[in-house]
Structure 1
Amino acid sequence: MELFPLYLSVKLALVTTVLLMIMAAPVAYVLAYSEFFGKSFLEALVSLPLALPPTVLGFYLLIFMGPKGGFGRLWEKLTGSSLLFTFSAIVIASLVYSLPFAVQPMRAAFQKIDQKLLENAYVLGLSRTAAFFRVILPNTMGGLAASAILVFVHTMGEFGVLLMVGGSVPGQTKVASIAIYEAVEALNYHEAGIMCMTLIPISYAFLLLINWLNRRS
């Protein structure tokens, strides 16, 4: 069995998870504690990847990151190379596609915080930023961990979006899901089956961990 696609999937999932934990936290905080005009539009925008077929999302990302797209042109100007069909491209696609899987559990965890804790923190003179790091984060670690695991598992299983923007470049964008697809296309069911049986227990173990964390919280 070819192991590099599996390694690439794990690498992609780890990078996506770390970046999304940083990017999604302020979005989840705003949605949990703020009221403002257009909040419902932001909520819908964050959740949009859940409603769109992966190929639709992948198509627009393909245009956006292509040589004629704004971001693609900027990337090429800064780096001197094309963005499409690179590891960076599938990372960006994964960030967009997995965003709701990070934001929604975080938001739910933030909203479970006892408001009296926050009020006491503000009375004691803590700023919103200080309260976030000293009160909210320590009391939502279970929810944050569940969010991270959910993003990791979801990224491990991504296919359509990654195929649209990354293709199947060995060592760069050929992740496990794409390798399985190609093995099936080549009627190599043995290799496809082995890779599937490798992914199933990994995903199942992470889902069990999420359930355990949810029960604890």
Structure 2
Amino acid sequence: MPSPFIQTLILTGKLAIYTTSILLVIGLPLSYFMAYARFRFKPVLEALVSMPLVLPPSVIGYYILVAYSPNFWFGKLLSEWFDVQLAFTFEGILLASVVFSIPFMVQPLTNGLRAVPVNLREASYTLGKSKTTTFFRVLIPNIKPSLITAIALTFAHCIGEFGIILMVGGNMPGETRVASIAIYDEVQALNFDAANQYALTLFLTSFVILTLIYTVNRKSDAWKMI
């Protein structure tokens, strides 16, 4: 049985990996749509995707809790049809994390796709390639820095989430107690050594991730100047 410290770090990493993986699957097609689609209500979609950047976590957490409630159609559907209760569970904080982290995945990908020269897509279509083939064989290789940035930012954001996790999941060891919650809990209990362990781990992890992002982007900029 791992120690509470290791158990909390494992849960934090698990949440970040699952959230990033889910958002990568969702974010790629959504970013493609946002980058190239033209329709009247596109600003509304862009605003909805960006809302987690400006809304307090407590606001989003509150509405997610309402959605999880058996009195709401979503929570009622899960409870009656699947016997699933999402509030104060790992699955519940995972879904909340996906909702709250979506702009960190989608915005870098969308910006990267918009920066790809139009003639590359047109040349691919001229050669008879489908949109799917063009996306995976032409566009994705040309937005590798944006892809790495999106993945790294989403992961780094996930390991530092606090407000929305606390509201939706509470502080349940082994289930919803991630490192950011543990820091708050240890400080409240005046266990500053334990709090420092969690804080230092998150600091170093975030530092490594940001260094990776800047290194990749610097190499990409250097390649473009050649």
Structure 1 length-normalised TM: 0.96
Name the SS for the 1:67 alignment partner.
Answer: coil
Match of 1:66 in 2: 69
Q: Distance in 1 between matches of 2:168 and 2:73?
A: 15
Alignment equivalent of 1:33, drawn from 36, 55, 66: 36
C-alpha displacement of 1:142: 2.1
Match of 1:165 in 2: 168
Q: Which amino acid counterpart does residue 139 of structure 2 have in structure 1?
A: I
Q: Distance in 2 between matches of 1:198 and 1:132?
A: 37
1:25–1:106 Cα contact (<8 Å) kept: yes
Match of 1:86 in 2: 89
Written as runs of structure 1 = structure 2, the 5 A alignment for 1:65-214 is 65-214=68-217
Q: Which amino acid counterpart does residue 168 of structure 1 have in structure 2?
A: N
C-alpha displacement of 1:2: 1.9
Q: Which amino acid counterpart does residue 67 of structure 1 have in structure 2?
A: P
Q: Distance in 1 between matches of 2:134 and 2:62?
A: 41
Q: Distance in 2 between matches of 1:130 and 1:65?
A: 39
In the alignment of these two chains, the number of paired residues is: 217
Structure 1 residues without counterparts, runs of 5 or longer: none
Q: Distance in 2 between matches of 1:78 and 1:152?
A: 32
C-alpha displacement of 1:74: 1.8
Q: Distance in 1 between matches of 2:159 and 2:59?
A: 20
Name the SS for the 2:5 alignment partner.
Answer: coil
Q: Which amino acid counterpart does residue 184 of structure 2 have in structure 1?
A: Y
* Percent identical residues: 45
Match of 1:6 in 2: 9
Q: Distance in 1 between matches of 2:162 and 2:135?
A: 35
Match of 1:46 in 2: 49
Q: Distance in 1 between matches of 2:120 and 2:146?
A: 17
RMSD: 1.1
Q: Which amino acid counterpart does residue 159 of structure 2 have in structure 1?
A: M
Q: Distance in 1 between matches of 2:113 and 2:137?
A: 13
Structure 2 length-normalised TM: 0.93
1:64–1:71 Cα contact (<8 Å) kept: yes
C-alpha displacement of 1:69: 2.0
Compared with structure 1, are the counterparts of its residues 85 and 136 closer, same or farther at alpha carbon in structure 2 (3 Å cutoff)? same
1:29–1:107 Cα contact (<8 Å) kept: yes
Match of 2:19 in 1: 16
1:143–1:213 Cα contact (<8 Å) kept: no
